[in-house]
């Protein structure tokens, strides 16, 4: 079994509406061998992964998959289940998967969902290695060792509990979440309303307050100035100074690094010089500057302040074990680490206990050591700090905090300048004011962990993640911009640009992805075909953007899925033959299935915009559970009439007027002849695109006068719609530049050209190499039937064809039409072909080029125009001299 291809989908895709992986595998010699016929395969598989016995498979009950194994199933099916179960073992709750055969005899693809992208990719390789070893009945299988390494990777790559809690809370509220990079940086929301957060540091958290909180000496100085009770202390990098200050304030003292977190390098309740010396050396490992301060006896509390209010308070108790009279301290630690609530780092509610020099110092100070046996019921403290990250536990005491202590915590956060802060207080009793019982604020922490509040060992769980999300998005505030996603075979780019124009007329700063590039507020920030998921994410991450119109092409959907979660409006302009035979899409039904994802991923309050004259769009509409707006060039079109009768929204033409129907009232928007892009109503493709654009804006409830103004100001020129039926006047003839590249678009363009005043039609034609021979020949035939002269050029993108083959197919089509071969020539270079056409053009001729390289074509028009003008001037001079 070999892996041929791997596609990772970060979001909604054609297989499921959540992240998944598509792995294409060649089963090779085992393609037709069922599992029951592979010696010892089933027994070994269940020996290595016994939890597969719980899989229901298609039987619908536990053990169903095992039944399939022994009856005989195929390796692709097994691979699917193994990939899912390995993730389950690693702690990821996933269940969706499927396996299907491709058009190649021994090649299958499997799809399965994931929670951690990096892990899921490694799982594929591990599962394939395991199955290959089992098929060959290998003597040595490294599966268990590799699983241990995978667990380590999973631990590093999994979101921490604080970040995960915030992500979960945002998603509960319907706020879209994007993970940026591999760490804990998240973007909540889209565009101008988005907020970024890393752990519990929000984008409202200032850099200076964070720096202050990381400097314990500076923090204490500010708190002292603000009247907050703090312990006496001193900071130095010199041991002698630290010892002298310890003697001055009197033992016991606390030693800690001036910059540090999670209790690392902290030693408390030090009662003599020797302990201070050892603690100083430990603290030095974390920071050159060391803090000594007066030890404050009492319990340790963490108060979480969010946006000027205490959200929760936990009493933190240092890591400890309780003796049973039989086991050593070392053994008790090992036993406690078996607690399912304890894990590595932050993966579980509690952290495993780790033996280190700080722990051994504390035991030594208490006249204990790791190999002694404590009495039954004896509590042995392993840390003097109470951080959960060093094995401590937490008890919720939020309801016990004295109001004065609440005020002190809020003031401390305010003084440092943190919107989210962890205020550490040591006091004998948090229910009485710390000013009256010699308590103090010990530290102010930026990026405080919140798992202690979500998962206290005892007491009420506090959903502080909700408070943090609410602080970023107060009730009633926006978290997403309007999003329109546009797909279809033809008209996507123009419809996208029309909608962008309409929304700009509304006063919004619009971000667009198109075949020509990414645009922010009419400025192109990235050139090229930007119709995929990454480009969409780029727009949605831009804080300037107030509305997004995303051209969403089939290739991008297949390769990466959608770059957003849910749109407000999804549009399918039409479904016709294009790119068939690529990426496993061989029929129009399959193409329609891919594009239907755009109208499935719509908010409940949103609209799917569909072409009422397209049979594939109609079939998609029948399966949708979303609101639909149909559009048509005829009000009396049967789908439009049925939809209107049911009270649905519609957009249609009535006596050349574009009208909307909202379920009750018909509203005239404007005449098609008022839209410059329709060329006074003769460019039918832009009439259809205008209808789709009106329907999209209608779905966003844009006012009719704004829609009309936007379309009245939209032109087929280099500014509004570059590369889409742009007309260039050259001397006494015209050059039309268009991106038509399939049968329908060629027919639409030629139909319009024939309605224009002209002498001859000269076509510079070509198609990409990803079309079928039949489709390419058909385009040649259409051109041969309509153009007076044809120059065939060839795109650089010829895919699997040899150079010259695509042009040969086009020539065959032209000859089938009966075209005079004297009016047909081949010039493979696009720029040379256009130059030749322009140089032969006569008065009132129209030259049309179906381009590949837009900038190259524009340069050629400019250069050739200068040559023609120079030749024309020479002729005039010559005639004048002869006269």
Q: What are phi and psi of 497, to 5 degrees?
A: -65, -40
Query: Cα–Cα distance between 95 and 849 in angstroms, integer?
Result: 51
Average confidence (pLDDT) over 314-321: 92
Band of pLDDT at residue 798, cut at 50, 70 and 90: low
Query: Cα–Cα distance between 73 and 494 in angstroms, integer?
Result: 49
Q: Is 851 helix (H, G, I), strand (E, B) or coil?
A: coil
Strands (DSSP E) contained in 391-439 are: 393-396, 420-427
Q: What is the pLDDT of residue 12?
A: 94
Average confidence (pLDDT) over 853-876: 90
Q: Which contiguous run of DSSP H or E holds residue 622?
A: helix 615-623
% of the chain residues with pLDDT over 90: 76
Average confidence (pLDDT) over 365-370: 90
DSSP 8-class letter at 134: H
Q: Which contiguous run of DSSP H or E holds residue 7?
A: strand 2-9
Q: What is the pLDDT of residue 262?
A: 67
Average pLDDT in the chain:
92
Q: What is the pLDDT of residue 566?
A: 96
- With tokens 């979480």, the residue in question is 304
Band of pLDDT at residue 91, cut at 50, 70 and 90: confident
Range in 361-370, 599-608, 786-795, 845-854 with the lowest mean pLDDT: 361-370
Query: Cα–Cα distance between 431 and 403 in angstroms, integer?
Result: 8
- Token duo for residue 496: 């996208």
Per-residue pLDDT reduced to its tens digit, 5-29:
999 999 999 999 999 999 999 999 9
Strands (DSSP E) contained in 56-176 are: 97-101, 107-113
User: Which residues pair with residue 512 across a beta bridge?
Assistant: 519, 549
Average confidence (pLDDT) over 780-789: 96
Query: Cα–Cα distance between 592 and 216 in angstroms, integer?
Result: 61
The pTM (predicted TM-score) of the whole model is 0.88
DSSP 8-class letter at 565: S
Looking at the predicted structure, is the pLDDT value of residue 672 above 80?
A: yes
Query: Cα–Cα distance between 811 and 819 in angstroms, integer?
Result: 10
- The domains found in the chain, sorted by start residue, are 2-157 (no CATH), 161-203 (no CATH), 204-230+296-318+388-480 (3.30.470.20), 232-295 (3.30.1490.20), 323-382 (no CATH), 483-712 (3.40.1190.10), 726-874 (3.90.190.20)
Q: What is the pLDDT of residue 883?
A: 62
């Amino acid at each position: 079994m070999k892996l041929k291809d791997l596609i990772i989908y970060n979001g909604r895709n054609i297989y499921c509406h959540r992240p998944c992986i598509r792995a294409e595998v060649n089963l090779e010699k085992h393609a037709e061998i069922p599992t029951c016929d592979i010696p010892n395969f089933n027994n070994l598989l269940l020996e290595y992964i016994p939890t597969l016995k719980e899989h229901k498979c298609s039987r619908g009950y536990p053990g169903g998959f095992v039944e399939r194994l022994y009856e005989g199933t195929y390796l692709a099916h097994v691979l699917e289940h193994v990939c899912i179960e390995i993730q389950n073992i690693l702690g990821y709750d996933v269940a969706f998967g499927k396996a299907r055969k491709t058009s190649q005899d021994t090649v299958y693809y499997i799809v399965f969902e994931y929670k951690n992208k990096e892990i899921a990719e490694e799982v594929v390789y591990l599962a394939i290695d395991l199955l290959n070893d089992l098929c060959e009945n290998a003597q040595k299988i490294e599966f268990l060792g590799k699983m241990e390494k995978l667990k380590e990777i999973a631990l590093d790559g999994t979101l921490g509990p604080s970040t995960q809690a915030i992500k979960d809370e945002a998603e509960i509220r319907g706020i879209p979440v994007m993970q940026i990079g591999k760490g804990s940086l998240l973007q909540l929301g889209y565009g101008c309303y988005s907020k970024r957060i890393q752990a519990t540091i929000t984008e409202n958290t200032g850099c200076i307050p964070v720096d202050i909180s990381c400097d314990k000496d500076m923090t204490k100085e500010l708190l002292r100035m603000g009247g907050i009770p703090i312990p006496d202390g001193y900071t130095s990098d010199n041991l002698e100074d630290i010892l002298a200050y310890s003697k001055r304030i009197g033992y016991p003292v606390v030693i800690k690094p001036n910059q540090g977190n999670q209790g690392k390098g902290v030693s408390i309740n030090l009662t003599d010089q020797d302990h201070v010396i050892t603690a100083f050396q430990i603290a030095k490992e974390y920071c050159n500057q060391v803090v000594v301060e007066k030890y404050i006896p009492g319990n340790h509390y963490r108060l979480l302040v969010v946006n000027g209010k205490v959200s929760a308070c936990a009493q933190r108790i240092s890591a400890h074990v309780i003796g049973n009279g039989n086991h050593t301290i070392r053994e008790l630690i090992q036993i406690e680490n078996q607690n399912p609530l304890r894990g590595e780092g932050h993966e579980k509610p509690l952290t495993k206990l780790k033996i280190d020099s700080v722990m051994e110092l504390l035991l030594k100070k208490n006249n204990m050591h790791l190999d002694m046996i404590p009495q039954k019921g004896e509590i042995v403290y392993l840390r003097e700090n109470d951080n959960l990250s060093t094995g401590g536990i937490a008890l919720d005491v939020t309801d016990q905090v004295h109001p004065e202590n609440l005020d002190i915590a809020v003031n401390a956060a305010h003084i440092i300048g943190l919107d989210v802060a962890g205020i550490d207080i040591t006091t004998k009793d948090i229910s009485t004011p710390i000013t009256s019982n010699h308590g103090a604020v010990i530290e102010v922490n930026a990026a405080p962990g919140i798992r202690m509040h979500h998962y206290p060992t005892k007491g009420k769980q506090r959903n502080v993640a909700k408070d943090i999300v609410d602080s970023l998005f107060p009730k009633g505030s926006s978290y997403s911009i309007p999003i329109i996603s546009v797909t279809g075979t033809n008209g996507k780019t123009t419809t996208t640009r029309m909608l962008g124009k309409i929304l700009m007329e509304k006063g919004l700063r619009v971000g667009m992805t198109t075949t020509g590039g990414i645009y922010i507020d009419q400025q192109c920030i990235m050139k090229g075909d930007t119709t995929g998921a990454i480009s969409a994410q780029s727009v949605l991450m831009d804080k300037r953007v107030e509305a997004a119109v995303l051209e969403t092409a089939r290739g991008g959907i297949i390769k990466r899925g959608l770059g957003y979660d849910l749109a407000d409006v999804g549009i399918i302009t039409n479904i016709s033959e294009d790119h068939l035979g690529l990426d496993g899409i061989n029929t129009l039904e399959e193409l329609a299935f891919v594009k239907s994802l755009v109208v499935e991923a719509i908010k409940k309050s949103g609209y799917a915009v569909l072409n009422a004259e397209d049979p594939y769009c109609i079939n998609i509409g029948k399966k949708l559970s979303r609101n639909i707006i149909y559009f048509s060039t005829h009000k009396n079109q049967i789908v439009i009439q049925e939809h209107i009768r049911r009270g649905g929204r519609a957009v249609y033409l009535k006596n050349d007027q574009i009208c909307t129907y909202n379920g009750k009232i018909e509203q005239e928007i404007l005449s098609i002849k008022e839209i410059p892009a329709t060329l006074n109503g003769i460019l039918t493709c832009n009439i259809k695109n205008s209808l789709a654009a009106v329907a999209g804006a209608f779905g966003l409830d844009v006012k009719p006068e704004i829609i009309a103004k936007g379309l009245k100001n939209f032109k087929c020129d280099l500014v509004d719609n570059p590369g889409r039926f742009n007309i260039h006047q050259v001397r006494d003839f015209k050059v039309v530049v268009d991106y038509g590249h399939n049968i329908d678009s060629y027919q639409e363009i030629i139909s319009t050209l024939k309605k224009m005043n002209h002498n001859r039609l000269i076509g510079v034609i070509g198609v990409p190499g990803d079309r079928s021979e039949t489709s390419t020949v058909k385009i040649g035939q259409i051109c041969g039937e309509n153009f007076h002269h044809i120059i065939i050029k060839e795109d650089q993108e010829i895919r699997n064809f040899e150079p010259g083959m695509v042009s040969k197919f086009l020539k065959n089509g032209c000859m089938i039409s009966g075209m005079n071969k004297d009016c047909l020539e081949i010039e493979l270079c696009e720029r040379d072909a256009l130059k030749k056409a322009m140089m032969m053009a006569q008065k009132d001729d129209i030259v049309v080029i179906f381009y590949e390289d837009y900038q190259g074509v524009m340069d050629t028009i400019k250069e050739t125009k200068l040559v023609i003008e120079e030749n024309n001037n020479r002729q005039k001079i010559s005639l004048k001299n002869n006269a």
